Amino acid sequence: MEESKDRVKNLSRRSFFKVATLGIGTAASFLLGLPLIGSIVGKGKIFLHKTYSRLVPVKDIPNSFSPVKRPSKYHFPKTDQDAYITTKKMENVWVVKKSEKEITTFSPICPHLGCRYDWDQEKKLFVCPCHNSIYTIEGKVVSGPAPRGLDTLPTEVKDQDVLYVEYERFKVGVPQKIIIGY
């Protein structure tokens, strides 16, 4: 009788440890899996929120080659979505208009290491203040450490001749143009 009571006790102790081990194992797997889920959701996020932002009517963009060689800089409100949080911030792009049908839009970020470059009206070139990469108005590298030319952005003309831009972010410091976000 005594022996069978001991056996029952031992069995229930063993069952308890089995259930506890299973529970701890499941919790650990879940916690270890969180970063993976996060990275998948995070990567998905990059491709979920690309949108075209309204820039300016095409007729209002001055010709960038005549009478003066000068690109135009346009600011626009950009919406960022991070999980459930939506934020708005101002962003800008450079627009080079050759004719009504030939318009190029550049990301404002230097492809060397990510500083914001500017237009030098005296030199008639884009110049990055950080490490002195210099680009033509067409975005080609003239000198400096930049591994590639300025990054062009996709545009669309709609709503009766209004220029829209899809803002993209690219990997810096590499010769290839690789999108890393919007």
Q: Which residues bind ligand FES (CB under 6 A)?
A: 110, 112-115, 128, 130-131, 133, 144-146
Q: Which is nearer to ligand FES, 134 or 162 (CB)?
A: 134
* Minimum CB–partner distance for residue 143 and ligand FES (Å): 10
Q: Which is nearer to ligand FES, 13 or 131 (CB)?
A: 131
Task: Supply the minimum distance, in Å, between the C-beta of residue 148 and ligand FES.
Answer: 12
Question: Strand 134-135 relative to strand 141-143: parallel, antiparallel, unpaired?
Answer: antiparallel
Least separation in angstroms between residue 176's CB and ligand FES is 17
Q: How far apart are CA 8 and CA 11, in angstroms?
A: 5
Cα angle for residues 78, 79, 80 (degrees, 5° grid): 115
Count of helix runs (H) and strand runs (E) in the chain: 1, 12
List all residues 6 or more positions away from 131 whose beta carbon is below 8 Å from its beta carbon: 112, 113, 115, 144, 145
The least CB distance from residue 162 to ligand FES, in Å, is 31
Among 100, 99, 111, smallest CA distance to 153 is for 111
- Pick 110 or 153: Cβ nearer ligand FES: 110
